Structure 1
């Protein structure tokens, strides 16, 4: 991986995190396009490297853990309608699961 690819991935992940934490409007296109781009960049970097069985095992373990956290997050986040658009918010399940700080109406925990 070169410096430009690393910088691009860091910027895209940062953009995604800021968008999620500020509780902005949910748009299906934006929710799917950016993670797809990041996945394609990751797959392209895998093709340029020979992987050992251990590396593949860790890659699969990371995927399983990521899917597990995604399921937990999907279980705790509730989508509410404001002004005809969907907005992410904390449900009662996220408060019971140890969210950390009291949820604000405009942001997810």
Structure 2
């Protein structure tokens, strides 16, 4: 299962990076709800490990989450946001790749420290998905704050509704 999780996360990260670098309309559900769903999956993966987290596990998971959220906030801060056709469009500048590199390096470092401390839960592949979701939630928090202050609504969802459209004077 751990190899499958790692491959899935690599695939998710590759798609997310590619989409962010190319730029795309930013839909609220993708920005906010998808990371929340990933977080639930990550927590369930961790709890389904069969091992109880030790004190080093908890400490490393919390530290990793703080770092991942901080890097996500940085990603949200550097994201270029534009009004295109009355809806939000975003693109991560190439410099944002450094933040992705920092996220990957932080996870590798956390895994090495966790392995040395025999913190098997924090070193597990299940923690990768949780940290990715925390990173995306950090980015979503900053983007949402920027969106609300700009007055430019999220791009319409596939059904034509605008997520949080009532905040922008649009009916959902």
Indicate whether the TM-score tops 0.5.
Answer: yes
Distance in 1, matches of 2:78 and 2:9, equals 27
Distance in 2, matches of 1:21 and 1:57, equals 33
TM-score by length of 1: 0.66
Q: Deviations for 1:76-96, whole angstroms, at most 9, x for unmatched residues? A: 334111122211246xxx8xx
Structure 2 unmatched ranges of 5 or more: 97-172
* Larger RCO of the pair (alpha carbons < 8 Å, separation 6+): 2
DSSP-derived class of the 2:90 partner: strand
Structure 1 range deviating more: 45-54 or 11-20: 11-20
The 1:19/1:64 distance shift into structure 2, 3 A limit, reads: same
More helix by share: 2
- Displacement of 1:22: 1.4
- Displacement of 1:73: 2.5
* 1:1-109 matches, cutoff 5 A: 1-48=1-48, 49-89=51-91, 99=95
The 1:15/1:37 distance shift into structure 2, 3 A limit, reads: farther
CA RMSD in angstroms comes to 2.7
The 1:31/1:2 distance shift into structure 2, 3 A limit, reads: same
- Displacement of 1:6: 4.1
CA contact (8 A) 2:26 2:89 kept: yes
TM-score by length of 2: 0.45
CA contact (8 A) 2:20 2:91 kept: no
Q: How many residues align?
A: 94
CA contact (8 A) 1:26 1:87 kept: yes
More strand by share: 1
Structure 1 unmatched ranges of 5 or more: 101-109
